Amino acid sequence: MLQKVMKGFCLKKNSNIVIIFWFTSLLLSQDVFEGYTLFTPGGGGGGGSATTYLKDNNLNNIQTWNHSNGPASMPYLISGDEPGWENTLLVYPYRVNDPSMESGGVGGAFEVLTWDGELVWEYELSNSDYQHHHDVEPLPNGNVLMIAWEKKTSTEAYAAGRTSLNGNPLNQMWSSAIFEIEHNGDGEVVWEWHLWDHLIQDADSGDDNYGVVADHPELFDINNGNVGGGGGPGGANADWMHLNAISYNAEYDQIVISSHHQDEIFVIDHSTTTEEAAGHEGGNYGKGGDFLYRWGNPQNYDRGSS
């Protein structure tokens, strides 16, 4: 049976399939992995129509899927209820026509298609508070995880202990959130996690989240990093974390996310309820929605040096 394709930032493989995103041409060497390649060519803007290709190592098309919107990131081919190509499903994250927030990797929705290209279901996350971007992650139960920007005003940011928005032209700060979408009619959010619930700062002792940053690696320092800027795809933005990818470990019921702007990966517990995910207790690991593990930039929690 075909296994679900996992992914990295641009390329990831398993024994069956290699997926590539963001390339307009495909070059194969003699050292290419045995299997198939799944990819959707597209530019950084993600606009216009697009086609997803499944190719073998001789560059023959095994299947193609046409889309009316350009890609937000890489597609996924997942197992159906029965073995065989004809029972697989394509999960395709795409850019909506009028996103509520815009920066590199903006998306807004995903669609699930049959092998023959028929729409099974889709879900859009693009509103005044949240905007999906980059990646999604199909789960073994058929649900889909989405990463999103969460818009915060300057008032909310300063109230949470942020000392400067670095002259952000939008006067905003986009935090990060994760939503689990269940195929239930038009789609339903059945679990969510918000970075904003897991912050710390050492600038204002009057705030509830005040503490010694080095003593709490399970929390993120709200004063790390810049808050977007005036350039880049889409113009001005307030992208703070810029999550690129999300992955799920079914054995441990954990979620892994990567942050381009903060140079870190983070592991969180997915076994929690949404209420537990907003706090610091509960779940299989007793940590609520706090980080179980982080790697890449210990300076972010005052444990590293230049």
CATH number, position 19: 2.130.10
CA distance 66 to 88: 16
Judge whether 52 lies within some domain: yes
pLDDT at residue number 203: 96
CA distance 115 to 79: 11
CA distance 250 to 167: 42
- What residue numbers bound the domain in which 96 lies? 11-301
Would you say residue 5 has pLDDT above 50? no
Judge whether 1 lies within some domain: no
Q: How many domains does the chain divide into?
A: 1
246 near 255, Cβ under 8 Å?
yes
Percent of residues, the chain, with pLDDT higher than 90 = 75
Q: Quick one: tokens of 295?
A: 């790697």
Output DSSP code: residue 90. Answer: E
Q: Quick one: tokens of 281?
A: 């207790």
Q: Give per-residue pLDDT as tens, 104-160.
A: 999 999 999 999 999 999 999 999 999 999 999 999 999 999 999 999 999 999 999
Q: Give per-residue pLDDT as tens, 20-59.
A: 444 445 555 566 677 899 999 975 555 678 999 999 988 8
Q: Quick one: tokens of 12?
A: 């990831």
Unique residue bearing structure tokens 């992650």: 137
User: Which among 234, 239, 196, 245 has a CA at the least distance from the CA of 99?
Assistant: 234
130: which residues sit within 8 A by CB, 6+ positions away?
100, 148, 149, 150, 151, 177, 179
Which tops the pLDDT comparison, 300 or 25?
300
Q: Give per-residue pLDDT as tens, 247-295.
A: 999 999 999 999 999 999 999 999 999 999 999 999 999 999 999 999 9
Judge whether 98 lies within some domain: yes
pLDDT at residue number 82: 85
Judge whether 88 lies within some domain: yes
Judge whether 5 lies within some domain: no
Q: Give per-residue pLDDT as tens, 237-251.
A: 999 999 999 999 999
Determine the distance from the C-alpha atom of residue 50 to the mean position of all C-alpha atoms in its chain, rounded to a whole number: 21
Judge whether 6 lies within some domain: no
Q: Which residues pair with 236 in a beta bridge?
A: none
Q: Give per-residue pLDDT as tens, 180-209.
A: 999 887 799 999 999 999 999 999 999 999
Judge whether 306 lies within some domain: no
Percent of residues, the chain, with pLDDT higher than 70 = 86
How far, in Å, are 76, 181, 215 from residue 142 at the CA level? 13, 9, 38
Q: Which residues pair with 192 in a beta bridge?
A: 179
Judge whether 244 lies within some domain: yes
pLDDT at residue number 25: 53
pLDDT at residue number 21: 44
- The residue length of the chain stands at 306
pLDDT at residue number 2: 33
CA distance 292 to 47: 37
Mean pLDDT taken over the chain = 88
46 near 71, Cβ under 8 Å?
yes
pLDDT at residue number 27: 58
Which tops the pLDDT comparison, 46 or 85?
85
| Mean pLDDT of the region 71-87 | 91
